[in-house]
Amino acid sequence: MALRFPRLPSAATSAGALANCLLGLAAGLWIAEALLRALALPQFEPAPSPPCVKDPPVILCLGDSFTYGVGAAPGQSYPDRLQSLLDRSGKRFTVLRRGFPGENSYGLRLKLAEALDQDCPSQVVLLAGVNNTDLFRPNSYLRANGGFRDRFQADEFFAGSRVYALLRAAFPVPPPPRRASWEPKVPAPPATLARIQAARALQQAGRLAVAEAGLRRALRESPGDPEALYAMGLFHIQAHGRAADAVRWLSDARGRSPEDLRIRLDLARALHRAGKPAESLNELRFIVGKDPGAAHLAVLLRRGLPERPDETGLGRMTAYDLERMAAAARRRKIPVILMTYGDDPETWYNRAIADAARRSGAPLVRNTDLTDTPEGRAKYASADGHLNSSGYSRVAENLFRILETDIMTP
């Protein structure tokens, strides 16, 4: 009697079974979505924190270096000038300046929830996006260009899906951790540290020659101090855009500080701007070898350093982050105002801010008439590309007019 073996399914049969399973899954998800919408169930968003109110009401200004006031004299940032305008008009408001130089829109998204809890604002003003071009920051350029398959893309693709919202509520994804190791911890001697801090304040005020002289004096007093070398390197690239000079100073600071990875990261930036991508990648390899948690730099190593950013992707990411921030504030019944930067209205970031304002229904303060002409730059721009005191005063006046219409009119 011959042995009979069971027939194995053919490749065509297996493919057909797989296709049927996928079709059944898609049909099940479609039916579940239809049922959830028919029952008018909520979006399963986490319940917002109880509202908090302060007296006088708080206007929270959240943003990057343009909110901090880089380029202006101390006390002349746009939040400071707005406070003066409110005081002179007899309006009782407290303006809080929450500016983080160098921060991108994603980092500000992470900071917003904490600011809403701690500051209890009655109004939020957002200015963000221009720093998204920094390839070396976590969750910035790479997230816009598909380097991370994270929930940015899933949230955007499945926006409005009840099934996806239910799954997100059942299986929450924690935000990526903020790495404290990238924050500066300056071990310089007290006198050297004081000179460095004074030079940075002078740089922000536009007094570049005096700031550079102060840094050189700090280096004479503490030759080879890594923090003084690091400060001088940053000064050359921030104040003058001289990447080659910055490379020289940052290279001397390398390997001398407990914060060596932070110094090497800025050296990699300077090398890339100086047209030395191979040397920049070498610094990134060193950082990733010492710090396996630097996943965003590992992705840069795999993909290589592009010659120019993808402005379309950056604009999409900027608009997305701003819309999510506006939605987070409005869930707490806090109105939001968006602002553009002071240069050309056709830059990718100003267009993205305008798109976010349109889609979210937020009022938009247009500051694009300040430095988009040679005359405007001479009058309102600082030497390092930020605004000066007059420029920030104009921003405050533009914002004050919107506030008068939106929250101060009985």
Per-residue pLDDT, 201: 80
| Burial class of residue 286 in the structure, from the number of CB atoms within 10 Å of its CB (0-12 exposed, 13-18 middle, 19+ buried) | middle
Helix ranges, 102-161 (H): 105-119, 141-144, 151-157
Per-residue pLDDT, 249: 92
Q: Mean pLDDT over residues 60-77, rounded?
A: 90
Token pair of 229, please?
């070398």
Mind listing the pLDDT tens digit for each residue in 107-149? 888 789 889 988 999 999 999 999 887 777 655 444 444 443 3
Are 329 and 336 within 8 A, CB to CB? yes
Q: By C-alpha distance, which of 403, 395, 406 is closest to 68?
A: 395
Q: Which residue has the tokens 């099934």?
A: 163
7-16, 320-329, 382-391: range with lowest mean pLDDT: 7-16
**Residue 367: which pLDDT band, with cuts at 50, 70 and 90?**
very high
Q: Mean pLDDT over residues 236-260, rounded?
A: 84
What radius of gyration do the chain's Cα atoms show?
26
254 — phi, psi (to 5°)? -65, 135
Q: Mean pLDDT over residues 311-326, rounded?
A: 87
Per-residue pLDDT, 149: 37
Q: By C-alpha distance, which of 254, 248, 255, 256 is closest to 232?
A: 248
Other beta carbons within 10 angstroms of residue 37's beta carbon come to 13
* DSSP per-residue string spanning 260-317: HHHHHHHHHHHHHHTT-HHHHHHHHHHHHHH-TT-HHHHHHHHH---SS--HHHHHHH
Per-residue pLDDT, 151: 38
Per-residue pLDDT, 113: 84
CA triple 39-156-321, angle to 5 deg: 120
Residue 327 vs residue 7, higher pLDDT = 327
Distance of alpha carbon 287 from alpha carbon 285, whole angstroms: 5
Distance of alpha carbon 137 from alpha carbon 104, whole angstroms: 8
Mind listing the pLDDT tens digit for each residue in 198-243? 888 887 677 888 889 999 999 998 888 888 898 899 888 877 778 8
Going through 30-146 in order, the beta strands assigned E by DSSP cover: 58-63, 94-99, 123-127
Structural domains present in the chain = 58-151+311-406 (3.40.50.1110), 181-292 (1.25.40.10)
Q: Mean pLDDT over residues 18-36, rounded?
A: 75
**Residue 31: which pLDDT band, with cuts at 50, 70 and 90?**
confident
58 — phi, psi (to 5°)? -105, 135
Q: Mutual orientation of helices 243-253 and 226-239 as an angle, nearest 10°?
A: 170
Going through 73-209 in order, the beta strands assigned E by DSSP cover: 94-99, 123-127
Mind listing the pLDDT tens digit for each residue in 44-65? 444 555 567 778 999 999 999 8
